[in-house]
């Protein structure tokens, strides 16, 4: 075997090794992408759970939330601040989720849930009041998306129609 033949064999072996390395790197990139998406999915779910815990854990706020959804004018100034802070947090969550989805970092299933939740919330008079006063805090792209939501497809919140909450003389439901 001549020196030229050995060089050709060496070049072939080198090419096979490079190809194997590229396949291995591609496999690792795919696994890494899956791990990143799984972590993003978990973080997305945890963020939503953290936001909603104020309604779940605090009966006082659940009452404010329910009243604010249907009649923002029924809230005191302090209650309105709490409702607006929560509405703002949910919309920031929706905006962040939308950006993640647009960049391929959020699964379609999660995005579907976000879009349906945003549609249902946007149909309430409380969110309409918030949006009228605070939409300028959101990015122009998000504003365009949110305002284009089909409100005809909105579903009832909490399993029954959201109706005006009547309070008794002591301010309770």
pLDDT digits (tens, 9 = 90+) for 43-69: 888 888 998 898 899 899 999 999 999
8-state DSSP, 138? S
Rounded-to-integer distance, Cα 29 and Cα 23, Å: 10
Does 38 score more than 60 pLDDT? yes
DSSP string, 39-82: HHHHHHHHHHHHHHHHHHH-HHHHHHHHHHHH-GGGS-HHHHHH
166, 126, 122, 153: CA torsion to nearest 10: 20
Rounded-to-integer distance, Cα 28 and Cα 10, Å: 27
Place 22 in a pLDDT band, splitting at 50, 70 and 90. confident
Residue 37 lies in a domain: yes
Domain range for 144 is: 3-159
Task: Please give the pLDDT value at position 139.
Answer: 95
- In the chain, the number of structural domains is 1
Q: Is the model more confident about 160 or about 35?
A: 35
Q: Is the model more confident about 25 or about 91?
A: 91
Lowest mean pLDDT among 36-45, 86-95, 152-161: 152-161
Q: Is the model more confident about 131 or about 38?
A: 131
Residue 166 lies in a domain: no
Residue 11 lies in a domain: yes
* Tens-digit pLDDT profile for residues 99-153: 999 998 888 888 999 999 999 999 999 999 999 999 999 999 999 999 998 766 7
∠30-36-41 over CA atoms, to 5°? 125
Residue 164 lies in a domain: no
With 0-12 / 13-18 / 19 or more C-beta atoms within 10 angstroms meaning exposed / middle / buried, residue 67 is buried
Q: How far is CA 173 from CA 52, 67, 81, 87, in A?
A: 21, 9, 20, 21
Alpha-carbon Rg for the chain, nearest whole angstrom, is 26
Residue 170 lies in a domain: no
Does 167 score more than 50 pLDDT? no
| Half-sphere exposure at residue 65, Cβ-oriented, CA atoms within 13 angstroms | 20
Does 157 score more than 80 pLDDT? no
Residue 168 lies in a domain: no
User: Per the structure block, which two tokens stand in for 170?
Assistant: 């002591």
Residue 121 lies in a domain: yes
Task: Please give the pLDDT value at position 93.
Answer: 95
Residue 40 lies in a domain: yes
């Amino acid at each position: 075997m001549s020196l030229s033949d050995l060089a050709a064999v060496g070049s072939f072996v080198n090419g096979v090794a490079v190809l194997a390395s590229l396949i291995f790197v591609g496999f690792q990139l795919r696994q890494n992408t899956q791990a990143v998406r799984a972590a993003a999915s978990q973080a997305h779910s945890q963020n939503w759970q953290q936001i909603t815990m104020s309604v779940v854990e605090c009966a006082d706020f659940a009452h404010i939330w329910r009243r604010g959804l249907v009649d923002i004018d029924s809230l005191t100034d302090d209650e309105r601040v709490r409702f607006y802070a929560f509405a703002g947090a949910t919309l920031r969550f929706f905006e962040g989720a939308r950006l993640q989805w647009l960049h391929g970092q959020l699964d379609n299933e999660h995005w579907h849930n976000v879009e349906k939740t945003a549609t249902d919330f946007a149909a309430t008079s409380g969110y309409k009041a918030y949006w009228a006063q605070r939409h300028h805090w959101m990015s122009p792209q998000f504003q365009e998306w949110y305002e284009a939501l089909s409100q005809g497809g909105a579903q009832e919140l909490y399993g029954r129609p959201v109706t005006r909450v009547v309070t008794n003389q002591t301010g309770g439901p």
